[in-house]
Amino acid sequence: MWLYLNDKYVEHDKATISPFDRGFLFSDGIYEVVRSYPPRGFFQIEAHLERMRYGLEQLRIGGMDISKVRPIIEELLARNGHKSSQAIAYIQVTRGAYFPRQHFFPPPSTPPTLLISTSPFKPHAEEIEKGVQVLLEKDIRWSRCDIKTIALLPNILSRQRAVEQGVCETIWSRDGFITEGTHTNFCAVKGGVLLTPRKSNFILSGVTRQVVLHMCGTLNIPCSETSINESELGEFDECMIVGTTTEVTPVVKINELTIKDGMPGEITRRIQKELYRKIAGE
């Protein structure tokens, strides 16, 4: 499998990273995940690259030319034979390698480390069709969740507990209000209105979330970016998690609480259908 690392295409088993890379030592970096759907190609790649630009700016990581990312992904998809099936590109940028280890930034001449890989992706068809159960836990993350950093320990631990319980995702609440999932944003429907936590430093501004809000306009579904108290969960007619890998997945159970009749709802279905139309470029 071909990767792109530090200005070169390399076979994965020949790729090496410095032990002093700040991604390795401090999780000092950001990442993105972009999905490609043949024959149309990437979905919303510009929005993903824009979020990357924002993250780099917020973390003050310089020296990264984002315009080269797209052609590199194209080349990797071709070299890895992922052009004709659905695939994921993983892009990671760290503040580079520097010795001696120090918390403060290395000299500005230190180049960032750019890693890009691609892998085939199998859609989660059954989950998308039947809906899923999720766990609800306390959100213990820092307060800059708007940056897609590679520091993901709370996400890893919450997702692992979900996997151990045989469910697919954990959503979080902070001070009693729903924030998001470990790798998804959360939406609910009440009285025909789609609700989703408003953009803040406590959630990632999801590309799929933004697409869903836009599609609500097209579909004439009223929507509101608002606060969602966890005590309201029992009042929702529908719930869903949305994200690049999850697309729009109905949530039919949260911990032991069954949402409505435990079946994916009508508005969720309309949004799913519209998403696939959009992905197909209709």
Ligand X SMILES: Cc1ncc(COP(=O)(O)O)c(C=O)c1O
Q: Pick the binder of ligand X from 112, 243, 250, 264 (CB under 6 A).
A: 243
Q: C-beta of 252: minimal distance to ligand X in Å? A: 20
Q: Which of 138, 148, 190, 273 is catalytic?
A: 148
Check binding of 185 to ligand X (CB under 6 A): yes
Question: Of 94 and 184, which has the nearer Cβ to ligand X?
Answer: 184
Among the candidate windows 94-102, 192-200, 205-213, 250-258, which touches ligand X by CB under 6 A? 205-213
Check binding of 180 to ligand X (CB under 6 A): yes
Check binding of 179 to ligand X (CB under 6 A): no
Active site residue 148: yes
Q: Pick the binder of ligand X from 29, 154, 206, 264 (CB under 6 A).
A: 206
Q: C-beta of 186: minimal distance to ligand X in Å? A: 9
State the number of binding residues for ligand X (CB under 6 A): 12
Q: How do beta strands 132-138 and 169-174 pair?
A: parallel
Q: Pick the binder of ligand X from 204, 215, 233, 239 (CB under 6 A).
A: 204
Check binding of 117 to ligand X (CB under 6 A): no
Catalytic residue ranges: 148
- Residues contributing to the site for ligand X (CB under 6 A): 33, 180, 183-185, 204, 206-209, 243-244
